[in-house]
Amino acid sequence: MRQLLRDNRGFFLLATPAALALRLFFVWRFPAVVDDSRLYANIARNWMQHGVYAITNSGRIMPTFSRLPGYPAFLAAIFYGFGIGNFRAVLLIQVLFDLGACFLIADLARRLLCTRAAKAAFLLAGLCPFLANYAATALTESLEIFFTALAFDLAAAGLAAMGSGRRDGFGAWLGCGLAIAGAILLRPDGGIVLLAIAGYLLWILVRGMTKSGTTCNPAPILLAGILVLVAALAPLIPWTLRNLRTMHRFQPLAPRYANDSDEPLMPGFNRWVKTWMAEYVSVEDIYWNVPGDEIDFSKLPNRAFDTPQQRAETSELFAQYNRDHDMSGELDARFATLAAQRVRAAPLRYYAWLPALRIADMWLRPRTELFPSDPRWWEFNDDPRWLAVSLAFGVVNLTYVGLALAGTVRARHAPLLGLLVFFVLLRSVFLGTMENPEPRYTLECFPAIVVLASAVFWCRSEGTSGSSEISDPRYSNV
């Protein structure tokens, strides 16, 4: 990284202020402190003031495991230095982390491709409005993106050392594992980074042992995998022991639905939602309202019913819920029965087509969920200014996705790009299993997306002449 900055000092002196200015614009004009932000802050406040990892519920301090401790710890550290509840300081420090992620993404592109691609990657990351928008949002996304980029950059460094026969790469693997731990402590799905890197190391091992005409020493690969695994999972031990001691439950991560042990689950309703949910607008209209708020039956899409009888039954269930806005066990069981009928009638729809549609919606939707834009932008009845923002963000998002696809095809033989593609596919498949297709869940893929997009600018002659750190032919024989 230092060499990249020294050799391209003028470029970074111009590009870095532009990236910083974009993020500061979002902090100044569109700062976002949402309900989840306040929940994280409440945990941080109780942790600081009472020494208990807890939420305040009806004036009572109650221990919780609904959220992992990474982001509350981050908030507590900032609140300690700048005052409790100082979200402006939180957002400004997140801007620094997001800028750091831009440099890490550029360094990853340098290692995998070339200097020109690295500069393109920095511009694509630094001027990305989606990353800048979430840097100005008090949620886990910016830190998660930073640790994801750090993990992949250190994995690339470790693979470069391994491929050249050097023995100085184990520090990189240790750091890679710790970066993954940081991602997991922020969000449980940060573990997908671990699965991707571990799977790639396993693939290298199997390929090296089965490829004819090569010799493979499995020891460095196995040692790298062990270092990553131990460093990634060891920081979860104190959290797991705390949950066993305080909550009397083995819970190494946060629960699937981010609920505490005394909070009711809605398995029937959630499964019913998955029999028709395909787009983010229904998350806002229906999913987030349960329990506690009115749900509008008219906003259900036609695919939520297979027959007139199902439509009538669903209408009755909605009417029963809307009487007291509570999802009782009996009502949830009726939703479960309805869901089972729909799954039996169309299993391919439930297990394949709807997950694919949810994945497509998360990747292709205009990322304007933090703005006052109408999520039904395609109806063209929004305020003209916000409609223009939605359309512009949609075009920008399609540009990033299109460049990533083009870069993947162009540099498909470049070392390690397969790891990034594997990570994007793995995370996308996971997201397809979720009831609530929120576009922000794909942002953790953007370090990979930006590097893949930068491959459009890959200078092949530079990459094959040795500028790429992972170009040593012995790499293929590891």
Closest CA to 179 of 208, 139, 207, 145: 145
Q: Give 216-258 pLDDT, tens digit per residue.
A: 678 888 999 999 999 999 999 999 999 999 999 999 999 888 8
CA distance 304 to 313: 11
> Which DSSP letter does residue 286 get?
T
Q: Give 109-155 pLDDT, tens digit per residue.
A: 999 999 999 999 999 999 999 999 999 999 999 999 999 999 999 99
> Using 50, 70 and 90 to split pLDDT, how confident is the model at 273?
very high
**Does residue 47 lie in a domain region?**
yes
Give the amino acid at 361: D
Range of the domain at 243: 2-257+381-477
- Dmax over Cα atoms in the chain, in whole Å? 72
Residue 461 has a CB neighbour count (10 Å cut-off) of 9
Residue 324 near residue 292, CB atoms below 8 Å: no
The tokens describing 225, both together, are 């995998």
CA distance 197 to 427: 12
Closest CA to 364 of 306, 416, 442, 434: 442
pLDDT at 464: 40
For the cut 70, the answer to whether the pLDDT of residue 214 exceeds it is no
> Using 50, 70 and 90 to split pLDDT, how confident is the model at 325?
very high
**Does residue 333 lie in a domain region?**
no
CA distance 341 to 218: 50
The tokens describing 247, both together, are 């909550």
CA distance 311 to 336: 15
Residue 219 has a CB neighbour count (10 Å cut-off) of 8
**Does residue 237 lie in a domain region?**
yes
Residue 144 near residue 186, CB atoms below 8 Å: yes
CA distance 338 to 350: 13
Classify 340 as helix, strand or coil.
helix
pLDDT at 136: 97
Residue 427 near residue 192, CB atoms below 8 Å: yes
For the cut 90, the answer to whether the pLDDT of residue 468 exceeds it is no
> Which DSSP letter does residue 260 get?
-
Tell me which of 56-65, 95-104, 268-277 is least confident: 56-65
Q: Give 92-105 pLDDT, tens digit per residue.
A: 999 999 999 999 99
Alpha-carbon torsion (471, 473, 476, 478), positive or negative: negative
For the cut 80, the answer to whether the pLDDT of residue 163 exceeds it is no
**Does residue 11 lie in a domain region?**
yes
pLDDT at 356: 97
> Which DSSP letter does residue 370 get?
T
Residue 179 near residue 149, CB atoms below 8 Å: no
**Does residue 324 lie in a domain region?**
no
Measured CA distances, 385 to 230, 439, 460 (Å): 51, 21, 43
**Does residue 279 lie in a domain region?**
no
CA distance 61 to 394: 43
**Does residue 269 lie in a domain region?**
no
Residue 29 near residue 129, CB atoms below 8 Å: no
Q: How many domains is the chain partitioned into structurally? A: 1
Phi and psi angles of residue 55, each rounded to the nearest 5 degrees, phi first: -110, 160
Average pLDDT value for the chain = 91
Give the amino acid at 160: A
Q: Structure pTM?
A: 0.93
- Please list the alpha-helical segments (H only) found in 30-86: 35-50, 70-82
Tell me which of 276-285, 397-406, 407-416 is least confident: 407-416
pLDDT at 168: 65
